[in-house]
Amino acid sequence: MTKSLVAGALGLLMPALALAGEYNISVDRVMIDTGDFVKEGIGYNGSSPGPVLRFKEGEDVTINVTNNLDEATSIHWHGLILPFDQDGVPGISFAGIPAGETFTYTFPVVQSGTYWFHSHSGFQEPNGAYGSIVIEPKGREPFRYDREYVVQLTDKHPHDAARVMRNLKMMPDYYNRKQQTVGDFFSDVSEHGFMNALSDRMAWGDMRMMKADVEDVQGFTGLINGKGPDQNWTGLFEPGERIRLRFINSSAMAYFDVRIPGLDMTVVQADGNNVQPVTVDEFRIGVAETYDVIVRPKTEEAFTIFAESMGRSGYARATLAPREGMEGPIPSLRDAPLLTMADMGGMHGMDHGSMDMGEDDMAGMDHSSMADDGMKSMGDNQMDHSSMAGMDHGSMMMSGNGAEDPFYAKGSGLVPTAANGGKFLSYADLKAQKPLYEDREPTREIELRLTGNMERYSWSINGVKYEDAEAIKLQYGERVRFKFVNETMMTHPMHLHGMWSILDTGAGKWNPVKHTISVQPGTTVFMETEVDAPGQWAFHCHLSYHAASGMFRKVVVEGGPDQGSNAGVKQEQVGGDV
């Protein structure tokens, strides 16, 4: 027994014990009790979530992973920069870990910050196979705190993940409880007029989507560190202390809007990379993202960590308190957002993308006059879809709540606002604390259209599913600019393995460095990647059921120092991996 890792899972600070650390992880069948239901799942070292792995920058880690399942498994170290054959994606990095066998990962730890790990085999991750990674930096951090906690979120579903996938394939709206009803239609009619309500409905039908498709898998219980809302995970503090909370969203599908009523949160890190501190009242954490915040409760009272899912179909709750057993008030869920026509984005050739929202893009439509006689022009054109772009968007439930964020379509219904009316974090607020790479012109651009057909629950990139797609080939040493164009109605958290994703917020050398980038409906988002890691890597939407149904690519980096070492990897398992 080299080192026990379980002890630190929910504990206070653990001084790093490791020099060159060896770690043992077993992959086990476990029972997961959410407080709402008990469900068999998969965990590590006997529990789900698994342990907090505490590494030190500069350490050489050896991790023995023993598979106690009766099926193959794998562990992917999400966000870690490492040799590709240690990245843990069956069929891309290695062949996987067969039932009953032990696989030993070895790699140098070359970074610091908050990360996580999870199975990349089948649906083991949504079934519970995830844990967290905390890497202590070599030097001092650009901030300080008195204690720290990992706050790992997930959306635990009572159905086994394979069953969820089958149900979605059979009936894409199976888990969508917020479908619009005939009653909604008549209330739309009274608010917006018959023609507008009808054309709105027809437009949505034409896209094979529904306005309520913010979350396509509802009915989950939100967990924090494995505890459901009633089980109330609690982190202790002394008033006046600064507490670092390491938020990790390990959900299969759910984005969370996180706040701690009564406390400001100063965001100091995103996806493991330090950002210039920005103080907010609330932030949205995409699937697979991490945000580290510092809070400072000054009074002797309990504060609720409240994480509402983006579609308001569920929430996770935990508590910060001076003593065990204390509870703060639990807010009620806010109203669910409804997608608007703006979130239709590039569909029908309408370009409402926030990134290049020029009036010119609107094909010469005169919006000011449309606003007055939109009804008349609709009447003239009847339901001709080719004229959709000419409709009066203003009266067509086009506008959301009036809030704006450059990373959401203009008029989007999804733009988040803080519950207390204060500051809600935007991607535009994220600035690298210390640029990781020299800023330089990209050598070329690759466009990736995020595509899907909701009617068949089929998701793809550039209209092609993973099993039918060629690998994306990159050259070692180039800097590639990826252009994500989201042509679907859903938000996609895009995750490139092995190399950093430099999100273009327009901040030049201060652009933040991430591993997962959310692309909102109807928007175009750019990221740049310094191609500095040879081998082959996965690149996919991190929503489990989207990745599994085809929104996934293999990336091959050609050239570089280790050229040729990837020749022996067989592609045995295609698709299905998350």
Partner 1 sequence: MKISKFCLAAAAMSLSATAFAGGSHGGGHGGGFGEAGKAEDVSRSIQVEMFDNYFEPEAIEVSQGETVRFVIENNGSLVHEFNIGTPEMHEAHQKEMMMMVEHGVIQGGKLNEDMMNMDMGNGHTMKHDDPNSVLLEPGQKKEIIWTFSAKTSMEFACNVPGHYQSGMYGDVNFGGGADTHASAH
CB 39 within 8 A of CB 78: no
Interface residue with partner 1 among 241, 478, 558, 562 (CB under 8 A) is: 241
Query: Which region among 294-302, 330-338, 377-385, 455-463 touches partner 1 (by CB under 8 A)?
Result: 294-302
The answer to whether residue 185 forms part of the interface with partner 1 (CB under 8 A) is no
Residues 6+ positions from 525 with CB-CB distance below 8 Å? 355, 407, 483, 484, 486, 503, 504, 517, 519
Q: Which two tokens stand for residue 342?
A: 């703006």
Interface residue with partner 1 among 246, 431, 492, 497 (CB under 8 A) is: 431
Crossing angle between the packed helical segments 194-206 and 182-192, to the nearest 10 degrees: 130
In the complex, the smallest distance separating the C-beta of residue 294 from partner 1, rounded to whole angstroms, is 5
Q: How many other β-carbons are positioned within 10 Å of the β-carbon of residue 571?
A: 12
Interface residue with partner 1 among 58, 83, 108, 142 (CB under 8 A) is: 142
Scored b (16 or more CB within 10 A) or e, 297-325 reads beeeebbbbbbbbbbbbbbbbbbbbbeee
Report the chain's C-alpha Rg in angstroms: 23
Of 139 and 564, CB closest to partner 1: 139
Of 212 and 265, CB closest to partner 1: 265
Q: Which two tokens stand for residue 508?
A: 């030049």
Instruction: Give 458-525 as a 3 state SS string.
Output: EEEECCECHHHCCCEEEECCCEEEEEEEECCCCCEEEEECCCCEEECCCCHHHCCEECEEEECCCCEE
The answer to whether residue 340 forms part of the interface with partner 1 (CB under 8 A) is no
Of 112 and 309, CB closest to partner 1: 112
In the complex, the smallest distance separating the C-beta of residue 420 from partner 1, rounded to whole angstroms, is 17
Interface residue with partner 1 among 146, 361, 478, 562 (CB under 8 A) is: 146
In the complex, the smallest distance separating the C-beta of residue 31 from partner 1, rounded to whole angstroms, is 34
The answer to whether residue 239 forms part of the interface with partner 1 (CB under 8 A) is yes
Burial class (CB in 10 A: 0-12, 13-18, 19+), 368: exposed
Q: Please state, in angstroms and rounded to a whole number, the distance separating the CA atoms of residues 508 and 179.
A: 42
Of 435 and 560, CB closest to partner 1: 435
Interface residue with partner 1 among 434, 444, 456, 473 (CB under 8 A) is: 434
In the complex, the smallest distance separating the C-beta of residue 275 from partner 1, rounded to whole angstroms, is 9
Of 16 and 355, CB closest to partner 1: 16
CB 228 within 8 A of CB 220: no
Q: Please state, in angstroms and rounded to a whole number, the distance separating the CA atoms of residues 541 and 460.
A: 9
Q: Please state, in angstroms and rounded to a whole number, the distance separating the CA atoms of residues 183 and 545.
A: 31
* AA letter at 285: I
Q: Please state, in angstroms and rounded to a whole number, the distance separating the CA atoms of residues 290 and 271.
A: 5
The answer to whether residue 570 forms part of the interface with partner 1 (CB under 8 A) is no
What is the four-CA torsion angle of 74, 78, 84, 86, rounded to 10 degrees?
-40
Q: Which two tokens stand for residue 9?
A: 């899972």
Interface residue with partner 1 among 3, 163, 177, 298 (CB under 8 A) is: 298
Scored b (16 or more CB within 10 A) or e, 96-114 reads bbeeeeebebebebebbbb
In the complex, the smallest distance separating the C-beta of residue 94 from partner 1, rounded to whole angstroms, is 35
Q: How many residues bind partner 1 (CB under 8 A)?
A: 30
The answer to whether residue 264 forms part of the interface with partner 1 (CB under 8 A) is yes
* Helices and strands per DSSP (H, E), number in the chain: 5, 30
The answer to whether residue 33 forms part of the interface with partner 1 (CB under 8 A) is no
The answer to whether residue 246 forms part of the interface with partner 1 (CB under 8 A) is no
Total residues found in the chain within this entry = 578
Cα atoms in the Cβ-side hemisphere of radius 13 Å centred on 413: 20
Interface residue with partner 1 among 185, 437, 476, 510 (CB under 8 A) is: 510
The answer to whether residue 143 forms part of the interface with partner 1 (CB under 8 A) is yes
In the complex, the smallest distance separating the C-beta of residue 146 from partner 1, rounded to whole angstroms, is 5
Of 35 and 435, CB closest to partner 1: 435
Of 144 and 570, CB closest to partner 1: 144
Q: Please state, in angstroms and rounded to a whole number, the distance separating the CA atoms of residues 366 and 96.
A: 57
In the complex, the smallest distance separating the C-beta of residue 508 from partner 1, rounded to whole angstroms, is 10
In the complex, the smallest distance separating the C-beta of residue 525 from partner 1, rounded to whole angstroms, is 22
The answer to whether residue 433 forms part of the interface with partner 1 (CB under 8 A) is yes
CB 300 within 8 A of CB 239: yes
Query: Which region among 247-255, 263-271, 385-393, 539-547 touches partner 1 (by CB under 8 A)?
Result: 263-271
The answer to whether residue 268 forms part of the interface with partner 1 (CB under 8 A) is yes
In the complex, the smallest distance separating the C-beta of residue 560 from partner 1, rounded to whole angstroms, is 30
Q: Please state, in angstroms and rounded to a whole number, the distance separating the CA atoms of residues 446 and 509.
A: 21
Crossing angle between the packed helical segments 194-206 and 367-381, to the nearest 10 degrees: 80
The answer to whether residue 15 forms part of the interface with partner 1 (CB under 8 A) is yes
Q: Which two tokens stand for residue 572?
A: 């045995």
Of 134 and 165, CB closest to partner 1: 134
In the complex, the smallest distance separating the C-beta of residue 301 from partner 1, rounded to whole angstroms, is 15
Query: Which region among 325-333, 354-362, 428-436, 530-538 touches partner 1 (by CB under 8 A)?
Result: 428-436
3-state SS assignment for residue 378 = helix
Interface residue with partner 1 among 266, 399, 401, 565 (CB under 8 A) is: 266
Interface residue with partner 1 among 29, 66, 95, 145 (CB under 8 A) is: 145
Tell me phi and psi for residue 137, to 5 degrees.
-75, 160
The answer to whether residue 453 forms part of the interface with partner 1 (CB under 8 A) is no
Query: Which region among 64-72, 139-147, 546-554, 560-568 touches partner 1 (by CB under 8 A)?
Result: 139-147
Nearest to 565 by CA among 478, 484, 476: 476
SS3 content of the chain, % helix, strand, coil (to 5): 15, 35, 50
Query: Which region among 122-130, 158-166, 254-262, 274-282 touches partner 1 (by CB under 8 A)?
Result: 274-282
The answer to whether residue 240 forms part of the interface with partner 1 (CB under 8 A) is yes
The answer to whether residue 141 forms part of the interface with partner 1 (CB under 8 A) is yes
In the complex, the smallest distance separating the C-beta of residue 326 from partner 1, rounded to whole angstroms, is 20
**Which residues, in sequence order, are bridge partners of residue 234?**
319
Query: Which region among 107-115, 140-148, 495-503, 540-548 touches partner 1 (by CB under 8 A)?
Result: 140-148
Site residues (vs partner 1, CB under 8 A) = 13, 15, 139-148, 239-242, 264, 266, 268, 276-279, 294, 296, 298, 431, 433-434, 510
